[in-house]
Amino acid sequence: MSTDLKKSALEDIAITKEELLYYNRRGLIPGPSETEKEFIERVKTLNEKKIPTNCLCFYKSLKLTQSALDIAPDWLNIEWKKMAPWHGAVTVIEDRSVTVELSALLFKRQKGLLFYRQEEILAHEIAHVGRMAFDEPIFEEYIASQMAPTSIRRFLGALLEKPCEIYTLLISVVALWTYFIIELLGNSLSAYLFYFLATIPIAVIAKGTVRQVKRNRMFKKCLENLQKIVHDKAKFVLYRLTDKEIKNFSETSPNYILRYLEKQRNQSLRWCLLDLAYFAQYCLKPLSHFE
């Protein structure tokens, strides 16, 4: 294959192979449409880490994400914030800076959230950090939920991904309890009102379940096709894909993925990274301009 580069994200490339791989390991991954110049500017503008001294779970979380996603962003800003009781953490990304805000109530007391461990909650947010340059809403929350240790929790983790779904479910449950309390107090209410209120949470959960089943099927098929090429590195590659790529790779063959790689690695900094870090050791020679 010709090594002449077209006008692309890699033209007049200044970043070295070692630097690109180093940034990748630290969770600084080029976005789907990000040029080399934009990527370097983003890396330079990130703040220095500010980890609370008593955030003991941070390095445990990094071990989880390094094993599952091949990222360990030790440069993260971490801050305590007052949050609703059901919120453990949230990732704030703005102006090329990123901060993980932790619930002061849960983390300062070294407590988890229900059956979720602290390091698992933080690892979920770190999974979002590595994809900060991505705008891929279909699989974003699903991928982050893969940090859960069991399949049922991974499935339930992204069952309700939109705030409107969560609030609709909570309001409908509260309304149902209110209905039962009024009935227990001796006041008779319409049975049709009960049916209506009961239908809402069932519909919300059913919608989320159908969505999860479809995504789970595409995710697993894509992973299987990648495993035929890069074996145990497949989950690292999948983490760095777009929604469209995950869908396409789930419906095609490993040969299609290799042809796609050969085309994209000369045009996309992200795919150049994927080639260098994961594909090259199994099937293709890396781009010669890095040699």
Give tens-digit pLDDT for 107-140: 655 555 556 778 888 999 999 999 999 999 999 9
Say if 20 falls within a structural domain.
no
pLDDT digits (tens, 9 = 90+) for 141-196: 999 999 988 888 888 888 887 778 888 998 999 999 998 888 888 788 888 888 89
Total domains in the fold of the chain: 2
β 97-103/77-81 pair status: parallel
HSE value, Cβ hemisphere, 13 Å, CA-based, for 74: 6
Say if 30 falls within a structural domain.
no
Domain span including residue 275: 1-15+137-291
Last residue of a domain, one of 132, 164, 190: 132
Say if 24 falls within a structural domain.
no
CA dihedral 141, 146, 147, 150 (to 10 degrees): 130
Say if 78 falls within a structural domain.
yes
If asked whether residues 141 and 283 sit together in one domain, one would say yes
Say if 291 falls within a structural domain.
yes
pTM tops 0.85, yes or no: no
If asked whether residues 169 and 274 sit together in one domain, one would say yes
**Cα gap 77→56, rounded to integer Å:** 14
Last residue of a domain, one of 85, 101, 132: 132
Last residue of a domain, one of 132, 152, 168: 132
If asked whether residues 148 and 221 sit together in one domain, one would say yes
Mean pLDDT of the chain: 84
User: Among residues 201, 128, 126, which one has the least CA distance to residue 160?
Assistant: 201
If asked whether residues 93 and 218 sit together in one domain, one would say no
